Amino acid sequence: MSTPFYVSPQQAMADRAEYARKGIARGRSLVVLQFADGIVFVGENPSRALHKFSEIYDRIGFAAAGKYNEYENLRIGGVRYADMRGYTYDRADVTARGLANVYAQTLGTIFSSAAEKPYEVELVVAEVGDTTDGDQIYRLPHDGSIVDEHGSVAVGGNAETISSYLDQRHRDGMTLAEALKLAVQALSRDTNGSEREIPAERLEVAVLDRTRPQARKFKRIVGRQLARLLEGENPDTSSDGDDEPDDEK
């Protein structure tokens, strides 16, 4: 009888982590930044149907890098959790921190289970507050840990290079146009430091705008409104406009 092949628990977990990181790195990067009136999500995404950013609840947005089918399942589960909690208790009881804890438990369980492969995803859960100090941004890596971020965060692709670029240039009180310009500049940088152009039609942009009169603060920025922002203007994002309706939950 042959001796079973033995792998130490430490090595097994290291191998699973490396597998997940490589899968996430193959995806396109995305960034989430605070600006004066809220939080903006920016990513390179040629698809108009398979979104990286979505609304979870009134003030909560979701961003993900990695395998679409895996993070889409997580997004749907987050929407169900938020709707059930808001209906059972109160809408104010649905928070980004609570949602991040739910995602952390799910990702951590999957990562530590030997029966299935780890999810190749990295998530960002953001909630816009009444003021900048009330904004919350949580990053959730593949292993289910939670990182409380401030100012800016990048995930997927060459996230390390992009994060370094953002840390040096992001500042409090930026306008939406300034934050969007910085995000696009960061996303256009390759690992070797060279830059490339990302056309507007390959960008996916959304905001959590605290100035919107509606209870739902999430809105996608598309079409003419996105073009004006990329040119340095600050068009009004508090109304729905005529570019694209809000997502339905």
3-state secondary structure 130-198: CCHHHCEEEEECCCCCCEEECCEEEECCCHHHHHHHHHHHCCCCCCHHHHHHHHHHHHCECCCCCECCC
Q: Whole domain around residue 185: which residue ranges? A: 27-230
**Residue 126 sits in a domain of what CATH number?**
3.60.20.10
Residue 52 in any domain: the answer is yes
Residue 21 in any domain: the answer is no
Residue 237 in any domain: the answer is no
Residue 138 in any domain: the answer is yes
On the question of pLDDT at 180 being above 60, the answer is: yes
The percent of residues above 70 in pLDDT, for the chain, comes to: 90
Residue 127 in any domain: the answer is yes
| pLDDT value, residue 242 | 44
pLDDT tens digits along 79-96: 999 999 999 999 999 999
| pLDDT value, residue 18 | 92
H or E element in which residue 38 lies:
strand 38-44
Residue 41 in any domain: the answer is yes
Please name the residues in contact with 95: beta carbons below 8 A apart, sequence gap of 6 or more.
60, 127, 136
Quote the number of domains for the chain: 1
pLDDT tens digits along 126-171: 999 999 999 999 999 999 999 999 999 999 988 999 999 999 999 9
Q: How many CB atoms lie within 10 A of CB 160?
A: 12
Residue 66 in any domain: the answer is yes
Residue 18 in any domain: the answer is no
Model confidence, pTM = 0.89
pLDDT tens digits along 209-241: 999 999 999 999 999 999 999 887 766 666 554
